[in-house]
Each structure stands twice: as structure tokens, then as C-alpha cells.
Amino acid sequence: MSLLEVEDLRTYFYTEGGIVQAVDGVSFEVGRGETIGLVGESGAGKSVTVKSLLGLINPPGKVVDGSVRFDGRDLTECTERELRQEVRGSEISFVFQDPMSALNPVFTVGHQIAEIVEYHTDRSEKEAHERAVELLDDVGIPDPEQRADQYPHEFSGGMRQRALIAMALSCSPKLIIADEPTTALDVTIQAQILDLFDEIQEKYDTSVVYVTHDLGVVREVCDRVAVMYLGKVVEHAPYEELYRNPKHPYTQSLLRSVVRPDERADALNPIEGTMPSAIDPPSGCRFRTRCPVAVDDCARIEPPRIDVGPNHDSACILYKDEYGKMEEPTLHERGQR
Ligand SMILES: Nc1ncnc2c1ncn2[C@@H]1O[C@H](COP(=O)(O)OP(=O)(O)OP(=O)(O)O)[C@@H](O)[C@H]1O
Ligand code: SF4
Ligand SMILES: [Mg+2]
């Protein structure tokens, strides 16, 4: 059994402008010790998905359907109190993009980590402080003993993100959800943080849901990837398979827009157009307004996720059978001609 099983999750926002179908039938699983990437452009519904898992959606938003089974328990059935006391920050912890907003400026970093350790274990104040120093050391902060006594503003951006990761680890969670944790950092620091996620996973065997708009980042850390577009998962596969053999026209476009280190920036090939509103999304396939290989049926049929390879599925009507056969050449194939 997987650690996390998300099935047919739907989260809508009931706004004056209409119902925002931010997450509309999302399913994915995360195994123990596995890292999965949730990838897609801005507005795809990545953050709303991960917040929905932990009951962090506030009005006018609401999880309207679906189940979130975590370690055998359906989190959508839990009360706010149960989630707060038994799940958030203990079994599952979050690492956000902006560490400053998650750190309290008036307490030292060591104090903030020790507090969580004390709350979740029966360690004394002194032991909790020692554990905080150990955790700062684990996340690669030099001179952890001195650093533990400093305040968040005395840390650089990269160090703050490390401190936040130490905080996330302090309760020995089974799952870490990291929402764009490196986006605000420069490229070198970003690479170091990605390495850190790899090390953590090896040492603690923690599962990770890694949210990013950057397929290059996914390559560094993720075992499997779910590609999201306008509230839906359009393709899902192990990273290597997705990278070598992308099936969905959206994934193909995304991969073509990744700048590889050996390419010049002008090789960048962004996807044309912008993502439509989630208030009144296109009928049929939501990607059809930007899809270079769309056919008439794409407006009529909502494509289900179909197996297109081992542990690989894609939601595009051009795939008819299992391990699908394409009727039209793909953008990827066209681009390579
Ligand atoms: N509080 C809210 N009220 C109304 N709509 C919302 C709210 N929060 C999110 N949405 C909408 O839900 C959709 C998904 O947003 P979400 O934040 O999950 O995107 P994302 O994939 O995380 O994008 P980004 O890469 O920019 O973080 C968007 O259309 C967004 O406008
Ligand atoms: S279903 Fe149609 S519009 Fe959607 S990705 Fe496939 S070809 Fe493109
Ligand atoms: Mg987001």
C-alpha cells in the first residue's frame, strides 16, 4: 500500500466571478521513501492540490470531492483538530517557497526547531536543543551550535531554506510536501538545496511531494512525475520515462521549453498562448486551445488517463488503446524532423 493515495480530488473556489475549478479530479500516489514531482505552469493547481491534502483550503475554497488516504487514514474525513494535532507538522510537514514567512523573526532558529522537537517527543528542553543543533548540522549549516543561537534575519536566503527544512524534519515526518522550495533562490543555492533533498531522503527515508513549475528541477530529485494542466493530471510516469518518452502534447511542449545546460537560452521554446481561466475551462480536453495537434473531437471528449506504458499514463484522445498508438504525429516527433 502506498503511503499517500489521492483519488479524484476536486477543490473549487466559489468566487463572485464564478466557480474556479482549481483542482478537478486529481489522482496520484506516493510510495514510502519515494519522491514525486507535481509539475505544471503557474495556475495549474499544484499548490491548491497540496494544500487540499492537509485541509488548508479556506473559504471561498472547498474540497468538494475525492479522498486522500494517508497511511491508511482518509484525511478528508478528519476534523481540523485531528489534522492539527495528529497530522500537520508531525506526520506530514511542509516546506514553502518563502522561508521568511514560515520562520518567526523574534525567536532564534535553534529555539524554533527545538520547540517542535519538544512538542512532538518526550525530550527535555536541553535534549531538544541538542537535537536542533544536530538537525542544523544535517541540513548542511556550518557551525550549527553558533547558528542555532542566531535569528532568521542573520541567515542568508539559502540558509533560511535549510533551516526550514531542518524544521520540517524535526518531527520525523513520513511525508514532506515541498512547494517550490527553491524558486526564490539563485541557481547555485538551488542546486545545493536539491542535493540536500536527495541526502535527506537517503538518511531519513522520507517520502516527498515536490511541487515545481520547472522540469529541470524535477530531474534532480523526483522518482516519478505527475504533470498538471488546468486542474488535471495530464501525464504521469517515472521521470526517466517521461523525459525520454513524453506522450502528452503538453508534456512535450514543456520539455521543449526546458533549457538544458548545453543549450543557449535562445533555444528556449515556450508554449504558445496562456492557460485559460479555471472558471470556465475549455470543454473536452482543457489543453485543446493551445494544443498543436488538436482535432475536432478534442472539444467533445474529455480524455481519460490511459496507460501508455508501464507505470505511465497520459490523458489525450489520440491514444486509443493500452500502450497507446498515436493517430497523429506528435509535436515532439514533428519538432525532431
Ligand atoms: N483563494 C483563492 N480564490 C480563488 N481562486 C484561487 C484561490 N487560490 C487559488 N485559486 C485559483 O486556483 C487555481 C490554481 O492555483 P494554484 O495556486 O494551485 O496554482 P499553482 O499551480 O500552484 O501555480 P503557481 O506555480 O503560480 O504557484 C488558479 O486558477 C488560482 O487562481
Ligand atoms: S486530447 Fe486533443 S487537445 Fe488534448 S492533448 Fe490530446 S490532441 Fe491535444
Ligand atoms: Mg503554487
Q: Is 158 in the pocket of ligand 2 (CB under 6 A)?
A: no
pLDDT in tens, 58-114: 999 999 999 999 999 999 999 999 999 899 988 999 998 777 788 999 999 999 999
pTM over 0.85: yes
CA dihedral sign, ordered 112, 173, 28, 26: negative
Cell numbers for 131, please give them.
537535537
The residues lining ligand 1, judged by C-beta closer than 6 Å to any ligand atom, are: 13, 15, 20, 22, 40, 42-48, 61, 213, 278
Comparing 272 with 24, the larger pLDDT belongs to: 24
Residue 332 reports pLDDT greater than 60: no
In this prediction, residue 187 carries a pLDDT of 85
The residues spanned by each domain of the chain are: 228-323
From ligand 1's centre to the CA of 88, what distance in Å? 21
From ligand 1's centre to the CA of 242, what distance in Å? 25
Nearest to 125 by CA among 140, 139, 110, 138: 110
Q: Is 318 in the pocket of ligand 2 (CB under 6 A)?
A: yes
C-beta of residue 321 within 8 angstroms of C-beta of residue 308: no
Comparing 258 with 321, the larger pLDDT belongs to: 258
In this prediction, residue 100 carries a pLDDT of 77
Phi-psi region of 99 (alpha: psi -120 to 50; beta: other; left: phi over 0): alpha
pLDDT in tens, 188-213: 888 888 998 888 888 888 999 999 99
The percent of residues in the chain predicted with pLDDT above 70, rounded, is 91
Q: How confident is the model at residue 148 (pLDDT cuts 50, 70, 90)?
A: very high
Strand partners, 38: 211, 226
In this prediction, residue 272 carries a pLDDT of 83
CA dihedral angle for residue 212, residue 214, residue 219, residue 220, rounded to 10 degrees: -70
Residues 141, 149: Cα–Cα separation, whole Å? 13
- Collapsing DSSP to helix, strand or coil, 295 comes out as coil
In this prediction, residue 66 carries a pLDDT of 97
Residue 265 reports pLDDT greater than 90: no
From ligand 1's centre to the CA of 97, what distance in Å? 15
